[in-house]
Amino acid sequence: MNTQNAIIGGVVLIVLAVGGYSIYRATSNGDGAANVAGAGLTATSTDPATTVQGQDVRVGTGREAKPGDLVSVLYAGKFTDGTVFDSSAAHDNEPLKFILGADGLIPGFQVGVNGMKEGGQRLISVPPTLGYGAEDVKDDAGNVVIPANSTLVFEVELVKVEDAPTAAPETTPEE
């Protein structure tokens, strides 16, 4: 059983490393603009329909976020007209915590956060292809929260970068 768990753990790490590689390419280019080409896209893509755009408002001085890290962010998600659809403020100002590069968040948001440093603030524009796509996002009551094909703008502050928790090795009693 220990060998099986070790193999599964190794496969998970490989998947995170390979899947997160394209996100890792998104780093600051030194002039305050974030080079945040999307997963599977070339860094030279200038097509706004397939490229995450980012602008550093403040470059942080702490640890840099990389795929596989556990990151904590404060954010406000808006439509291009400025209407807020979600924010940390709506969740008691609790930072959103996630493992960068793992499933669970839209790819464009993760691409935009990648390469930020603790204490940094970034504006991130996510095209529909790297956001929620061609389907409406609805709440539990069936109301449209995010219309199909919406470009999303996020104001993000990177609060903390940590090593992601690792699964504790399984121990067996000695005989």
CA–CA distance, 51 with 165 (Å, rounded to integer): 31
Q: Would residue 139 show up in a list of annotated catalytic residues for this protein?
A: no
86 is catalytic: yes
**HSE (side-chain half, CA atoms, 13 Å) at 81:** 5
Tokens 């603790």 — which residue?
118
Q: What is the torsional sign of CA 41, 45, 51, 56?
A: positive
Q: Is there a catalytic annotation at residue 24?
A: no
Identify whether 98 is a catalytic site residue. Answer: no
Structure tokens at 106: 């839209």
Active-site residue 132, yes or no? yes
Active-site entry in 99, 106, 124, 146: 106
Is 154 an annotated catalytic residue? yes
Of 24, 75, 98, 109, the catalytic one is 75
Residues 6+ apart with CB under 8 A from 120: 56, 58, 59, 60, 157, 158
**In angstroms, rounded to a whole number, what is the distance separating the alpha carbons of residues 50 and 107?**
11
Choice among 56, 69, 132, 146 that is catalytic? 132
The three-state secondary structure class of 112 is: helix
Count the Cβ atoms, other than its own, within 10 Å of residue 134: 8
Residue type, 55: Q
Tell me the catalytic residues. 75, 85-86, 106, 132, 154
